[in-house]
Structure 1
Amino acid sequence: MPEWTHIVFRSLGALVVLFIMARILGKKQISQLTFFEYVMGITLGELAGFISTDLEAHYTHGLIAMLVWFTIPFLLELLTLKSIKLRHLLEGKERVVIKEGKVLENNLKKERLTADELLEQLRAKSVFNLADVEFAAMETNGDLSILLKKDKQPLTPSDMNMKKVTEVAPQTVIIDGKIMDEPLATIGLSRGWLRTELEKIGVSVDNVFLGQVDAYQQLYVDLFDDKLQVPAPQGKALLLATLKKSQADLELFAIATRSPAAKAMYETNSAALQQVISDLRPILNG
C-alpha cells in the first residue's frame, strides 16, 4: 500500500478521535480557554498531526498519548466542579484592574497588561473614555468585564418607570424561497396565512431569501432582489390606531348622550380602554 494511503487513513483516524474528544470535553473548549485548556488543545493537535504523518511511529502509541492528554484534563475538569481551590489553581482568578474609577497599576503589571492594551480592551467594549468606567476586571479567559459609572449607563425601561415586555423569539418561516412548515406550526399559522400575507405586500415566496414572523404575527421579509422595496409591517400600528379611535368614540358618546346611566357607562368603558392602551403602548410602539 502506498505511503500516501497510510497517511490518509492515519489522518482520518486521528481526526475522528480528536473530534470525539472535543465533543466530550464540551463547548467550553472552543469558547473560553483557560491556560491549561490552551496548552492541552495545542498538545492534542500536535499529537494528532504527528501520528498522522510520522509513518515510522507506532499508531497505537500515538492514540494512547492522545488518550492520556484527554483523560487527565477531563478528570481535572470534573474535580474543578467540586473544588474551588483546584479551580483557582488551574484556571486562575479574575483580577480587578479598575476600582472606583481608578486604575490599579500593580494589578496591571501582574496581568502583564500595558496602558495601551487596557485602552484597547476598553475600546473593544465601546468605552472610549476611561473616566466613564467605575469597575473593570480581567477574567480568567482574558476578557475584560466592565461596569460603567451610574450616570454613564444606558437607560432601561425600569429607569423610566416603563413596564417591561417579555419578548418571544421570532420564527423563521421562509429560507431561500422555501416555506418552513415546522416554525409555522410552532406559532399556530398555516401556509395559507403566509401566502395571504405575501400577497398583501405583493411578493412571491420564490423571491424571499428570509422571512420571519414575530409574536404579534407580523411578517418581515428580505428579498433576493434588493432593489424592491417592501413595506414595513403595520399590524401593531393599526391595532393601536383602532384602540385610540374606539376610546375617542366612547368619550364622544359620553358627551352626546343625555342619559346619566349611559353617560356613566361610556365614561367607565372609556377609562378602562385608556388603561388598556397605556398597558399595551410599550408593545405596540415597539
Structure 2
Amino acid sequence: MPDWLNIIIRSASLVIVLFLLTKMLGKKQLSQLSFFEYVAGITIGSVAAEISTGLDRDFLHGLYSMLIWAIIPLLAGLLSLKSKKARNFIEGKSTVVIRDGKILEDNLAKEKYTVNELLELLRKKNAFSIADVEFAMLETNGELNVLLKKEKRPLTPADLQMDVAPERVPQNVILEGEIMDSALAASGYTRAWLEAELEKLNVALDNVYIGQIDSYGKLTVDIYDDKIQIQDAKPRQNLLTAMKKSQAELESYALETDVESAKQMYKENAEKLMKIINKTKHLLNE
C-alpha cells in the first residue's frame, strides 16, 4: 500500500476514534476540564497525530495507548462521584480569595494567582473595586464567582417588595416572511391579531425577517429593508388594533366552545364589534 494512502486511512480512522472517545468522556471534556481531562486531552491528541503519520509503528499499539488515556479520566470521574475525598483530591476545592472586601493573600498565593490576574477576573464580573466585593470564590475550573455587597447590587423588584408577572420566552411568530402558526398559538394570539399589529406598525408581512412576541404581548419585528424606520403606533391606531384583537378573539371563542348558547353570544358580539370597527376605521386610522 502506498504511504500516502496509508496516512489517509490512518487519519480517517483516528478522526472517528477521537470522536468516539470524546463522546465517551462527555461534554465536560469540551468545556470545564479537570486536571486528568486536561492532561488526557493533550496526550490523546499527540498520540493520534503520531500514529496517523508514523508508518513504521504499530497502528494497534497507538490505539491501545489512546484507549488507556481515555479510560483513566473516565474512571477518575466515576471515583469522584463515589468518594468526596477522592473528588477533593482529583478535582480540587474551591478557594475563597476575597471576604468582606479584603483579599486573602495566602489563598491567592496558594492558587498561584497574582493580584493583577485577580483584578482582571473581577473586572469580567463588573466588579472594579475590591471594597465592593462581599465574597469572591475561585472555583475548581478557574472561574471566579463574585458576590457584591448588598448596597452595591442592582435594585430588584424583590428589594421593593413588588410582585412581578412571570416572564415567558419570546415566541418567534414570523420567520423570513412566513407566519409560524404553532408559535402564534402558543402565545395565545391569532393571525387576525398579528395582521392588525403589522398594520399598526405599517409593515408588510413579506418584508419581515423575524417577528417576536414578548411575555407582555408586544410584537417587535426586524425587517429586510434596514433603511425603513418603524414608527410607533399612534394612540388611535392602538385603539383600532385592540378592537380588532377583541373581535378576532370573540370569533375564536365562538369556534372553540361546544356550548351553543355561548357560541351564539360570542358570534353576535363579534359581529357587533366588526360593525363598530367598520364605522370608525376611517377615523382611527388618521
Taking structure 2 as the reference length, the TM-score comes to 0.73
Deviation digits for residues 118-152 of structure 1, max 9, x if unmatched? 11111111111111011111110111111111111
Match of 1:246 in 2: none
SS at match of 1:162: coil
Match of 2:54 in 1: 54
What is the total number of aligned residue pairs between the two structures? Answer: 238
How do 1:30-49 and structure 2 match up within 5 A? 30-49=30-49
Q: CA deviation at 1:21?
A: 2.2
How do 1:134-283 and structure 2 match up within 5 A? 134-187=134-187, 194-231=194-231
Shift of the 231–46 alpha-carbon distance from structure 1 to 2, 3 Å rule, reads farther
Deviation digits for residues 262-283 of structure 1, max 9, x if unmatched? xxxxxxxxxxxxxxxxxxxxxx
Q: CA deviation at 1:194?
A: 4.3
Q: CA deviation at 1:19?
A: 1.8
Match of 1:114 in 2: 114
Deviation digits for residues 165-218 of structure 1, max 9, x if unmatched? 221111223344454455345435566654554344233344333222223443
1:212 touches 1:220 (CA, 8 Å); kept in 2? yes
1:220 touches 1:233 (CA, 8 Å); kept in 2? no
2:201 touches 2:232 (CA, 8 Å); kept in 1? no
The one-letter amino acid paired with 2:53 is T
Distance of 1:35 and 1:103 partners within structure 2: 26
Match of 2:252 in 1: none
Shift of the 197–44 alpha-carbon distance from structure 1 to 2, 3 Å rule, reads farther
Distance of 2:86 and 2:123 partners within structure 1: 33
Match of 1:63 in 2: 63
Match of 1:86 in 2: 86
The one-letter amino acid paired with 1:91 is E
SS at match of 1:81: helix
Deviation digits for residues 43-88 of structure 1, max 9, x if unmatched? 1222222222222232222222222111221122122112111111
The one-letter amino acid paired with 2:54 is D
Distance of 1:59 and 1:134 partners within structure 2: 56
Distance of 2:213 and 2:183 partners within structure 1: 9
CA RMSD of aligned residues (A): 2.7
The one-letter amino acid paired with 1:101 is G
Distance of 2:121 and 2:102 partners within structure 1: 16
Match of 1:131 in 2: 131
Distance of 2:23 and 2:232 partners within structure 1: 43
**Higher alpha-carbon deviation: 173-182 or 64-73:** 173-182
1:97 touches 1:105 (CA, 8 Å); kept in 2? yes
2:200 touches 2:233 (CA, 8 Å); kept in 1? no
SS at match of 2:220: strand
Q: CA deviation at 1:109?
A: 0.9
Distance of 1:154 and 1:227 partners within structure 2: 37
SS at match of 1:22: helix
Match of 1:98 in 2: 98
Structure 2: runs of 5+ lacking an equivalent: 243-286
Shift of the 191–110 alpha-carbon distance from structure 1 to 2, 3 Å rule, reads same
**Higher alpha-carbon deviation: 145-154 or 206-215:** 206-215
Distance of 1:99 and 1:82 partners within structure 2: 31
SS at match of 2:82: coil
